[in-house]
Amino acid sequence: MKKLSNETYRRGPLWVLPLALGLVVMVLPFLGIDAGTQRITVSVALMSMLVLGLNMTFGYAGELALGQSAIYAVGAYAAGIFAVAGLDLPLTFVIAVLAAAAVGLLTGVPGIRLGNWSLGMVTFFLVLLVPEVVNLFPKVTGGAVGLPGVPLPTFLGAPLNGQAYYVLVIGVTIATFVLLRNFATSRHGNALKVLRESPVLARSLGYSVPGLKLKTYVIGALPAGAAGALFAYQDGYINPASFGFQMAVALLAASIIGGADSIYGAVIGAAILTIGPLRTSGFQQFSLIFFGILLVLGGLFFAGGIAGLARRWFQRWFVDDRLLSDVKDVLASEVEFPRIHGKELRATGVEKAFGGNRALRGVDLVARPGTVTALIGPNGSGKTTLLNVVSGFYKPDAGTIAVGGVAVEGKAPHKVAASGVSRTFQTPLIPKGMTVAEVVQSARYARDRASILAAMLRLPSARRAQREDRAEALRLLNIVGIAELADKPAADLPLGTRRLLEVTRALAGDPAVVLLDEPASGLDESDVQLLSSVISRLRDAGATIVIVEHNFEMVMSIADEVNVLHLGEMIAVGTPDMVRNDPAVVESYLGKAAREELERRNAAQQGGSK
């Protein structure tokens, strides 16, 4: 059987297939489906939007915000109250979505400082607060009894009957999926995956993590507000019990089963969690047990959910692995290392203490363009601490740090990154679910901005930014010799290639200073030689490179200047040969006996020369 070409799979208009399926679902009433099936389909559509919003925050950004059902309630009550007051559907819909966005923004405030399960618990309290807030305003919300008398939706005064309401719900669902699908596949979606992998990595790439989190919560809240507005009209009655604990757990189960990091997985999960219980008598009595089992099974056996399994299966059996056309073009082009505009890094009198432990004691460091400045020393000497201070993750207790003469000490990490400081980490931070090219592209997110609205609407500015990101990523990957891997899953690469990928990502933001934290750790000899070659070429291109490394021979072969830290103090600075024969350096690495042996050998050599 002939397989689908990789080019068509990745770049062809395959999105037309789910769009066409959605349009078919939209016209089903005109093909004769009964009212009961229409109601079930509407319920699946509404829950799909809820799960989709949860997937944005949980699956893509890795932020476990469980207040989705509470935001759903806000949208429903906002639309219902104003519908009872006589407003048309377009106005009630806008009010509901804006109210949901406001709650999403409010949810983002604790999310800035919290994460994972802590954030999940805080946002879950929103669910518990819904009946309490509803009971505070019984004249408006109906209290615990619920809000009755929500009229049929009207558009310019004309009521929308059952079929028209059905078409409206499916149409809004399709539009929501189109917008968020465009968002998820854009550079903004890649940024969320970086945030999911590590907020530290996101900051090092110049992302404003608080701002990115707030945007994510608001975007995730919008589908819930839209679904709530439409739900208010489904029965003409809103009951606070519809938005409780059971709904919150069901949404989480649907997200995990369908695929938390998938757009279309939201439909799969919503269909299973909506249709399945309807086919089971007495479900309400055991619903929480059922949802709990689904969560456990999903976590154990459905990595990536059903959508993820289907995607991997389809790629394996029905898609070839040929290189894309732009990758072939890059591989056929001449490899030309561009000129890098490095800037001087100067750290003076830097001190940093953690409690009673003085990690850095008045450290000076100067790194100049076109040089490799090595920073070596025993474990615990303060090397990585110094890199963290330079890149803004630690604030120095004293001292100054300047890049190109501009002070950066005390600035937030994303602002230091914006000043031109790029870095790698001891353990490569490579986000899952991203290709090699996307990992490199992620470093350009903070540098070249395109609006979220432009991405959702696929405007020319967003498409142009994405093309430029990929072209630059392929060019850099070709320079380091791994362009043929551009569309492979980055997390599956061997360690040596992942470290090369990290170096490539560090270059994508046109850095003034590159900080390499133990880039050769765990590599075999051939990988070390390849890495050394890349670093040497970066230096020759004008980069300012600071490298922390335990591979002494590698450092001696590529460094122009070696700085030796010991117990937080700089004990030696000089050329590799000078440092290699410095007694203080030898003692810090090998002990006092080794230093004394070196001194005797040097004295004997000096005596022999006389």
What are the tens digits of pLDDT across the range 347-366? 999 999 998 788 999 999 99
- Residues 363 and 360: their CA atoms lie apart, in Å, by 6
State the Cα–Cα distance between residues 94 and 225, nearest whole angstrom: 9
The answer to which of 54-58, 237-241, 252-256, 598-602 has the lowest mean pLDDT is 598-602
Angle, to 10 degrees, between the axis of helix 187-197 and the axis of helix 460-480?
A: 60
Residue 581 is predicted with a pLDDT of 79
**CATH superfamily membership of 345-574:** P-loop containing nucleotide triphosphate hydrolases (3.40.50.300)
For residue 544, what is the enclosing H or E element?
Answer: strand 544-548
Residue 12's pLDDT is: 83
Query: What distance in Å separates the CA atoms of residue 355 and residue 370, rounded to the nearest whole number?
Result: 38
Digit-coded pLDDT (tens) for 138-153: 888 888 888 998 998 8
Under 8 Å between Cβ of 494 and 523:
no
Give the per-residue pLDDT at 149.
87
pLDDT of residue 592: 55
Q: What is the pLDDT of residue 304?
A: 78
Pairing between β-strand 513-517 and β-strand 421-423 as defined by DSSP bridges: parallel
Predicted pLDDT at 101:
94
Q: What is the pLDDT of residue 600?
A: 64
Statement: residue 376 has pLDDT above 60? yes
- Write out the two tokens for 502: 């990290």
Q: CA 435, 437, 439, 441: dihedral to nearest 10 degrees?
A: -140
Q: pLDDT value at position 426?
A: 87
Domain residue extents for the chain:
6-243, 345-574
Please give the span between the terminal C-alpha atoms of the chain, in angstroms, as a whole number: 83
The rounded percent of the chain whose pLDDT value lies above 90 is 51
User: In which element (H, E) is residue 348 found?
Assistant: strand 345-354
DSSP code of residue 514: E
Model pLDDT, residue 5: 86
Reported as a single tens digit per residue, the pLDDT across 396-423 is: 999 999 999 999 998 999 999 999 999 9
Averaged pLDDT for residues 317-335: 89
Per-residue pLDDT at 473 exceeds 60: yes
Taking CA 195 as the corner, what is the angle to CA 500 and CA 69, rounded to the nearest 5 degrees?
A: 150
pLDDT for 39-48, tens place per residue? 999 999 999 9
Provide the pLDDT for residue 154: 86
- The yes-or-no verdict on residue 542 having pLDDT over 70 is yes
- 593, pLDDT greater than 60: no
Q: How many CB atoms lie within 10 A of CB 280?
A: 11
- C-alpha–C-alpha distance, residues 131 and 144, integer Å: 7
pLDDT tens, 161-199? Answer: 888 999 999 999 999 999 999 999 999 999 999 999 899
pLDDT of residue 424: 93
Stated as kind and residue range, the H or E segment containing 373 is: strand 371-376
Which of 41-55, 96-110, 210-224 is modeled with the greatest confidence? Answer: 41-55
Measure the CA–CA gap between 135 and 117, rounded to whole angstroms: 29
Mean pLDDT (whole number) for 381-397: 93
Residue 255 in tokens: 């997200």
Q: What is the pLDDT of residue 595?
A: 53
Reported pTM = 0.89
Q: Which amino acid is at 431?
A: P
Residue 289's pLDDT band, with cuts at 50, 70 and 90, is low
Query: Taking 90 as the threshold, does the pLDDT of residue 485 lie above it?
Result: yes
Q: How far apart are alpha carbons 302 and 107 in whole angstroms?
A: 29
